Each structure stands twice: as structure tokens, then as C-alpha cells.
Structure 1
Amino acid sequence: MTISAFFSLPTHRETLRLAWPIILSNSSVPLLGAVDTAVVGHLPEPHYIGAVAIGALIFSFLYWGFGFLRMGTTGFVAQASGQEDATEVRSVLARALILSGIIAVIVLILQAFVLWLALLLIEGSAEVEGGAADYFFVRIWGAPAVLANYALMGFFIGIRNTKAALTVQIFMNGLNIILDLIFVIGFGWNVIGVAAATVISESLALLLGLYIVRRELAQIGGVWKRSAILSLAKMGRLLAVNFDIFIRTILLIFAFAYFTAQAAKEGDVTLAAVAVLMNFMHFMAFGLDGFAFAAEGMVGTAVGAKKIDKLREIVYVSGFWALVVACLYALVYLVFGPLIINLLTGIEEVRLRANEFLPWLIGMPLVAIWSYQLDGIFIGAVQSKEMRNGMIISFAAYMSAMFLLGSQWGTHGFWAALIVFFVLRAVTLAVVYPRVEQRAGA
């Protein structure tokens, strides 16, 4: 790519146009998590924070593990869009929705087993586990809406209409926050109120998303073609890609779950401090993902259209803006970190413990940005095997680092291991990036 291409204003404008709605909508997700933490964090006992933290962690496994419903949909929709095949765009969406419905039914049937297994793996006090179970058995009924919404979000990003994703996400999380305050502060339902607020907002957001999809499809054109939707070859390709992403995502979520589980062994105060700081991680992750998501749609379209020069331009421009945002996150955490901690919890011993770990969070955005951005590039190119293999290598090294560094430095060692994890995720994908260009030039 030439220097002049990097300064191409249309690509910068397109990157920012796609990224800002995703950054705004994604940032509302950790804001919701922060409100969840805050409403229970000002209840008299710290175990309420731990209960919501572990309950939310279970759903991170359960739902984020099926994140391929969004990621796989984005890549396939974007490439079909680049090929100007409107009927295939519709077919990809239909396949994703069918798959989401099947998975949701299985999840509801196995809900008791899922909770038993989760509490077996994550140790907490009796009060924390009891609250987590109450949270789980209410929130699980939002599974059909959550999984279908993943497919819709993938569709919106794939057709490069991130404003639609913003509309749905802001509606869902804004309603969730309002219901949080009503159910927990107003009605005194504690963790059950948090879960009920989430289920109601997820279900109503799905209805809004389907309405917007119908409007978008009328503009895109194409037809619903049963033979295309149920094509064994294309369904097989979808399942293969989604299985690769599933393995990658499960290892990613397990890495964070293991981190929290190790913190839980240090007691309720340390667990509560980590739960507070995980909101910093969520703010960072969802914000940095804005440019990764923008790259997904743009890269997928470029690969589908076989435009290798455009692909390179997108990679460099989106990476530049992602780095700018990462620097802003680090600056905000440096200046306002203690204030944010104080807003999230009024328990002094939890505040002190969280401030002790804050320096790790200040440096995290500058390290993590590259793994997020490369994930977006590989998702758009539908290079799922490379993502799976890179994650397996990174996860193995992370677990080794957790044992070695944790045994030496305690919870500080766990944060250091997380840094190692982010670095290796980026390195393992950067090494095989030329395969993305080979696919675009084929």
C-alpha cells in the first residue's frame, strides 16, 4: 500500500462512519454492567456484588460461547454483499437465525445441568453461590432473544449498517438500566431484579431488530430461496466456520473465567474488587471492538470483491484509529480510574483493593488493541482456522503464565498473565496475516 492510500480521506471517513455507532453501542454494554454492579454494590454486603459477578460470568460462557452467531454471520454477509448477491445475504441471515433457535432450545433444556457445572467450576461462598443461582434461573429465559440478536447484529455489521446495531443496542441497554433501578432500588428484588430487567430488555430488543431487518431487506432486494437457505454445502461451511470460532471463543471466555475464579479464592473482597475492575475491561473491550467491527464489514466486502489494495488500505486505516482510541482509554483510566472505582462501590476495603490493581488496567488498552483489531480482520475474511489455532497457542501460554506468575505475585501475577495472553493473541494472528491477502487476491 502506498503512503497516499493511507491518507485517502474516503477510507478514513468510512472507517469512522462505521466505527462510531459500534463504539457508542458497545460502550453502553459495560455501562449496563457498571449499573448492575453499582445497584448491588451499594447494598450492605459484598456478596451481592460477587453473586452478580458470577451469575454474569456464567452467561459470558453461555452466550459469548455462541458469539459465532454474530461473527460468522458478519463475515458471510459482508462477502456476499461484496459479490452483490442479495439472495445469498438473505440466506446467510436465515441460516444464522435457524441455528440460533436450535441452540436456544438446547440451552433451555439443559439449564439445570449448566448451572450445576458452572458452580462446580467456580468456587464462591454459600451466599455468593445462592445469589448466582437466583440470578441464573431468571436470566436463562432470555436465551432465545439473545442468540437471535447475535445473528441480527452480524447481519447489520455485514451490510455495513452499524447505525441499526446502535439503535437496537442503545434501546436494549437503556431499557435495562431503567428496569434495573426500578426492580432493585424501587422493588428491592436484589439480584433477581437485575436478571429480570435483562430478560425483558433483551426480548423487546429482538422485536425492534426484526423490524429494522425487514426494512433493510426491502432495500437490499433478493428473494427468500429455500434451496439456498438449506443448501447442505453452505450449511456445512457455516457450521465448520462457526465451530472454529466457537472453540476460539470458549477458550477466550474460559481465560477470563479462570481469572475470576482464581480471584474468588482470595476471598469476597478480592473477588468484588476484580468484579469492579472487570467493568474497566469491558469498557475497553467494547470500545476497541468498534474499529474491529468496522474492519469486519469492510474487510469482508473487500475480500468478496477481490480488491487486495482496498483490503490493505482498510487494515492500515482502521488500525491507526484503533490505536488512537486505545491511547484515549489509557489516559482516561490514568486520570479518572480512582473516581470510577468509587462510583462503582461504596465499600472501602473493596475500593482499596481495586486501586491496588488499577495500574494494570491503565496499560491494558495499549497492549490489547492489536489482538482485537486482528480478530476483526480475520472474522471479515472468514479465516476461522487461523483464529482457532492462534487462540489455542495463546491460551496454553496464558494458563502456564497464570500458574507461574500467580504463584510468585498472587493476583498481580494473574494480571501479568493476562497481558501475556493479549500479546500472544496478536502475534499468532499477525504471523499468518498474509493468508488474508492471498484470499483477497485469489
Structure 2
Amino acid sequence: MAKKTSIQGSAPFRVTHRQVLEIAIPMTLAYLTTPLLGLVGTAVVGRFGDAALVGGLAAGAAVFDIVFAAFNFLRSGTTALVAQAFGRNDALEEKAVFWRALVIAAISGLGLVLFSPLIAVVGEWFMNTEPRVTAAMDLYIRVRLIAAPAAFINYTILGYLLGSGNSVLGLLMQLLLNGMNVALSILLCLYLGWGISGVAWGTVFSEGVAMVAGMTILLVRFRAMPKMSRQLTFNMVAIGRMLYVSGDIVTPSCMLLGAYMLFTRQSAQLGALTLATNAVLMHIFLVAAYFLDGFGAAAEQLVGRALGARYQPAFSQAIKLTAGWGLAVAVLASVVIFAFGEHLIGAITKAADVRAEAALYLPWAAFAAPSGALALQMTGVFVGATWWLDVRNMMLLSFVAFITTLFAFGQLFGNHGLWAAFHIFQLLRGLSLLLVLRRRASTVFA
């Protein structure tokens, strides 16, 4: 069994640089495996030298991601509620939160499998792109949705591990999941000739193996914890609360992925070359942003724990330290992308036209980390504090501004306009939450 970090469930406590990094570094590495997986998938399909296949994978992944965003609360909600129970030193409630989330995850995942044909059709209608891109997108969506039950259960496992301070174990689980996914994508797509469906089937098999491994680890862990009654686990009031707040989590998650999807759709309207170009650059954008997600995760756990313990000094320390580290890493990531971005593009695709076009728009991807740093850190703070209503409202404001600028700037400046609108969206998300923070904190610690 993996050892916990040095963070212990007691109050009061002091948040240090070491504690922030003990959570942020493992979770940054864990989160980085997700966009790197996307990079590998794009690179594998890119070996065929067909922009339509790369575009189909990007469009299919966008549809898939926005559907799964509706269930992100299974990770973030579990993290926040477990972290607050951790701050109260309530081991039984930590365990109960996990089982409640798992039941919701399993039922939701099975429902998505049943509705996968409808989801594929709606995705094709929304993207409205050329036939060859649509065909590749349809195949990818239908296969990958088979993984929904296992993927959602893995969300709850990761949420529990992060909320309870087991970030290293969370990293190991993500490495298992995405490492196997990379290997299977290469094997099935390139060596066995399954094409784009090989990338999707690699995900299905990997999610299943990770779920079995994660559940085995947690069941062993739970044996050492106090036993609890079924009445506590399946307390309908607690389950109802989880489902109720899920709406406030689902809405911003859907809008965030909706922004990605609209960006992809508008890219498709500019042609297959622009769609493929932006797919490559968006993967680089996500790699930069995921460097910051570890500090958002640290903010979730430490702020949630501080709220559970009702200890304001730790709350303030968590915000300051995660913001400082996030900004420093954002600047470093931007420098690295400026320096090595063209090499990354060349590794992803060998299509000469895509490589040339992506190099032209590379500076937009390089600024991804600085423009998204505050948004990711503030979201972590508000999620950990379970102030989900504020996240929803500020995301709605930012999303409306994004739609307006996306269509206006896209018409005026083409692809440059699309990227400018996306960066404005990122900046507004962070600044709007920052403006709300002081008022929210004063009501809790008054």
C-alpha cells in the first residue's frame, strides 16, 4: 500500500511549500499523462499523413470530452468532500463519500454506453464537417464510449486518493492507465492495422485494467479502516446533496469543454488544414495547462482540508503558495514551448502543410500556460471549498464573452482570431473568480 504524504488529518495545521509540492508534483505528472496521451494518439494517426484522419480524431475527442465533462463532478466533487472530511479527521465519511460516488459513476457509465449511437449522431451534426472527417469521428466516438463505466469509476478512485492526500498513489494509477493506453494505441493502430479504432480500443482496455487495479488497492486500504453501516454509506440525504451540487459542477465543466468543442468546430469551418493544425497546437496548449493542474489539485486538497478544519491561516497560505508556484511554472512552460515547439510539431505529424501552418500559430500555444494559470488555480480553490455556485456563475460569464469574441474575431482575423478569443476566455475565468474570493472567504471565517 502506498504511503501517504506528510500531510496528516488534524487541525490546526500550517501549509508549507513542501506540502504544496508533495501534492502538486505527483498530480502534475499524473495530469500530464492525459494530454501526452492525446499527443501520442495524434502522432500515431498522423503517421498516415492524412489530415482528415487527424481532424476526425480531434473532432471525436472533442465530442467525447464534452460528454464526459458532465461527469467531472465524480472526480472534483469526491476530492472536495473527502478533503473536508479529512480536515475534520472523519475517516468514516471519507469512505462513505467514495462509495456513494462509485454507485453514481457505475450507473452513469452504463447509461452512456446505451446512448452511444445517439451521442455519435448528435456529435456529427454539431461538428458539420467534411465526410471523411465525419466517418473517422463516428468510429472513434462509438468505440471509446464503451469505456464509460470504467472511466467514471476511475474518476472516483482518483478523487478519493487526491482528497485523502495520496497524491503519489494517484500518480501511479494515472501512469498505469495512460502508459498502457499509449502502448496499446501504438500496437493496435500501427502494428495490427486497426487504424483510428485502435486508438479508441486502447483506451477501452486501459480504463478496465486501471479500474480493477484501483479498486483492489482501495479495498485493501478500507480493510484497515473502521467499518461503517450501510445506512451511513447510502444515506439518501448525503447522496441527494452530492447529486444536487453536481449540477453546479457539471455546468462549468460542460461550458469549459463546450468552449473547446466550439473552438474545434470553428476550426473545422476554416478547412481540414486549420482543423488539423489547431488539433496539434491544442495538444501543446493542454500540455502547458496540465503543468498547472497539479497546483490546482493542491489548492483543492489544502483549501478543502482548511475549510473542514475551519482554520483560516491554512486557507490563506494554501491560496498564496499555490498561486505563486503556479505562476512560476506557467512562465517556465511558456519559455520551453517557445524554444522547442517546432520540434514538438514535427514529432506529432509528418504532414508538411500541417507542420508549416502549426509553426505559424505556435506563439498562441506558447502563451497557454500564463493565460490559464489563474483560472486553474482559482478553480482549485473554489472546488476545494465547495463554492461550486460561484464557479458556475463566473464560467457562464466567461463563456458568453468567449462565444461573442470567437465568432467576431474569427470573422475578422481568421485562425488568429480564434486563438485570441480562447485566451480571453482563460483570463476572464481566473480574474472573475479572484474578484469573488475575498467576499466568499469573509463569510466563512467571519
Asked whether 1:422 is paired with 2:431, we answer no
Deviation for aligned residue 1:395: 0.5
TM-score between both structures, scaled by the size of structure 1: 0.96
Distance 1:222 1:433, change over 3 A: farther
Task: Answer yes or no: is the 8 Å Cα contact 2:288–2:334 preserved in 1.
Answer: no
Residue in structure 2 matched with residue 352 of structure 1 by the alignment: 356
Looking at structure 2, the residues matched to 10 and 64 of structure 1 have their Cα atoms a distance apart, in angstroms, of: 31
Asked whether 1:312 is paired with 2:316, we answer yes
Residue in structure 2 matched with residue 26 of structure 1 by the alignment: 31
Letter in 2 for 1:150: Y
Task: Answer yes or no: is the 8 Å Cα contact 2:151–2:207 preserved in 1.
Answer: yes
Distance 1:203 1:232, change over 3 A: same
- Which of 83, 89, 103 is the aligned partner of 2:88? 83
For the residue of structure 1 that corresponds to 2:16, the secondary structure is helix
Looking at structure 2, the residues matched to 373 and 10 of structure 1 have their Cα atoms a distance apart, in angstroms, of: 16
Task: Answer yes or no: is the 8 Å Cα contact 2:14–2:314 preserved in 1.
Answer: no
Residue in structure 1 matched with residue 387 of structure 2 by the alignment: 383
Task: Answer yes or no: is the 8 Å Cα contact 1:64–1:253 preserved in 2.
Answer: yes
Looking at structure 2, the residues matched to 215 and 306 of structure 1 have their Cα atoms a distance apart, in angstroms, of: 31
Distance 1:10 1:65, change over 3 A: closer
Letter in 2 for 1:42: R
Task: Answer yes or no: is the 8 Å Cα contact 1:39–1:185 preserved in 2.
Answer: yes
Runs of 4+ with deviation above 6 angstroms = none
Residue in structure 2 matched with residue 225 of structure 1 by the alignment: 229
Letter in 1 for 2:158: M
Letter in 2 for 1:294: A
Task: Answer yes or no: is the 8 Å Cα contact 1:327–1:365 preserved in 2.
Answer: yes
Deviation for aligned residue 1:328: 1.2
Asked whether 1:237 is paired with 2:248, we answer no
Cα displacement string for residues 15-72 of structure 1 (whole angstroms, at most 9, x for unaligned residues): 0011111111111111111110111101032111112111111110121221111011
Deviation for aligned residue 1:9: 9.3
- Which of 318, 337, 344 is the aligned partner of 1:340? 344
Task: Answer yes or no: is the 8 Å Cα contact 2:331–2:370 preserved in 1.
Answer: yes
Letter in 2 for 1:67: N
Looking at structure 1, the residues matched to 282 and 411 of structure 2 have their Cα atoms a distance apart, in angstroms, of: 22
Task: Answer yes or no: is the 8 Å Cα contact 2:285–2:366 preserved in 1.
Answer: no
Matched length? 434
Residue in structure 2 matched with residue 368 of structure 1 by the alignment: 372
Task: Answer yes or no: is the 8 Å Cα contact 1:90–1:222 preserved in 2.
Answer: no
Letter in 2 for 1:79: Q
Letter in 1 for 2:291: G
Looking at structure 1, the residues matched to 438 and 49 of structure 2 have their Cα atoms a distance apart, in angstroms, of: 55
Task: Answer yes or no: is the 8 Å Cα contact 1:73–1:151 preserved in 2.
Answer: yes
Q: CA RMSD in A?
A: 1.4
Q: How does 1:156-167 map to 2 (within 5 A)?
A: 156-167=161-172
Cα displacement string for residues 215-255 of structure 1 (whole angstroms, at most 9, x for unaligned residues): 33344x23232222222322222112111010111011001
Looking at structure 2, the residues matched to 374 and 215 of structure 1 have their Cα atoms a distance apart, in angstroms, of: 35
For the residue of structure 2 that corresponds to 1:313, the secondary structure is helix
Task: Answer yes or no: is the 8 Å Cα contact 2:147–2:204 preserved in 1.
Answer: yes
Residue in structure 2 matched with residue 438 of structure 1 by the alignment: 442
Deviation for aligned residue 1:435: 4.4
Letter in 2 for 1:170: L
Task: Answer yes or no: is the 8 Å Cα contact 2:49–2:349 preserved in 1.
Answer: no
Residue in structure 2 matched with residue 402 of structure 1 by the alignment: 406
Looking at structure 2, the residues matched to 229 and 146 of structure 1 have their Cα atoms a distance apart, in angstroms, of: 22
Looking at structure 2, the residues matched to 48 and 224 of structure 1 have their Cα atoms a distance apart, in angstroms, of: 51
Looking at structure 2, the residues matched to 252 and 421 of structure 1 have their Cα atoms a distance apart, in angstroms, of: 9
Looking at structure 2, the residues matched to 44 and 252 of structure 1 have their Cα atoms a distance apart, in angstroms, of: 30
Task: Answer yes or no: is the 8 Å Cα contact 2:292–2:330 preserved in 1.
Answer: yes
Deviation for aligned residue 1:10: 6.0
Asked whether 1:283 is paired with 2:282, we answer no
Looking at structure 1, the residues matched to 441 and 232 of structure 2 have their Cα atoms a distance apart, in angstroms, of: 28
Cα displacement string for residues 162-208 of structure 1 (whole angstroms, at most 9, x for unaligned residues): 11111110011111111111111111111011111110011100111
Distance 1:439 1:80, change over 3 A: farther
Asked whether 1:273 is paired with 2:277, we answer yes
Structure 2: gaps (5+ residues): 1-12
Task: Answer yes or no: is the 8 Å Cα contact 1:48–1:131 preserved in 2.
Answer: yes
Residue in structure 1 matched with residue 204 of structure 2 by the alignment: 199
Task: Answer yes or no: is the 8 Å Cα contact 1:179–1:197 preserved in 2.
Answer: yes
Deviation for aligned residue 1:145: 0.5
Letter in 2 for 1:354: A
Cα displacement string for residues 145-169 of structure 1 (whole angstroms, at most 9, x for unaligned residues): 0011111111011001111111110
Looking at structure 1, the residues matched to 398 and 229 of structure 2 have their Cα atoms a distance apart, in angstroms, of: 41
Task: Answer yes or no: is the 8 Å Cα contact 1:72–1:379 preserved in 2.
Answer: yes
Letter in 2 for 1:74: T
- Which of 75, 94, 99 is the aligned partner of 1:94? 99
TM-score between both structures, scaled by the size of structure 2: 0.95
Distance 1:224 1:59, change over 3 A: farther
Looking at structure 1, the residues matched to 367 and 52 of structure 2 have their Cα atoms a distance apart, in angstroms, of: 29
- Which of 174, 181, 186 is the aligned partner of 2:186? 181
Residue in structure 2 matched with residue 5 of structure 1 by the alignment: none
Task: Answer yes or no: is the 8 Å Cα contact 1:93–1:151 preserved in 2.
Answer: yes
Looking at structure 1, the residues matched to 314 and 118 of structure 2 have their Cα atoms a distance apart, in angstroms, of: 48
Q: Indicate the percent of aligned positions where both proteins have the same amino acid.
A: 34
Deviation for aligned residue 1:97: 0.5
Residue in structure 2 matched with residue 108 of structure 1 by the alignment: 113
Residue in structure 1 matched with residue 267 of structure 2 by the alignment: 263
Distance 1:32 1:38, change over 3 A: same
Looking at structure 2, the residues matched to 437 and 337 of structure 1 have their Cα atoms a distance apart, in angstroms, of: 40
Distance 1:234 1:439, change over 3 A: farther
Task: Answer yes or no: is the 8 Å Cα contact 1:160–1:298 preserved in 2.
Answer: no
Task: Answer yes or no: is the 8 Å Cα contact 2:15–2:318 preserved in 1.
Answer: no
Structure 1: gaps (5+ residues): 1-7
Cα displacement string for residues 266-294 of structure 1 (whole angstroms, at most 9, x for unaligned residues): 11111110110111122022221001001
- Which of 278, 300, 303 is the aligned partner of 2:304? 300
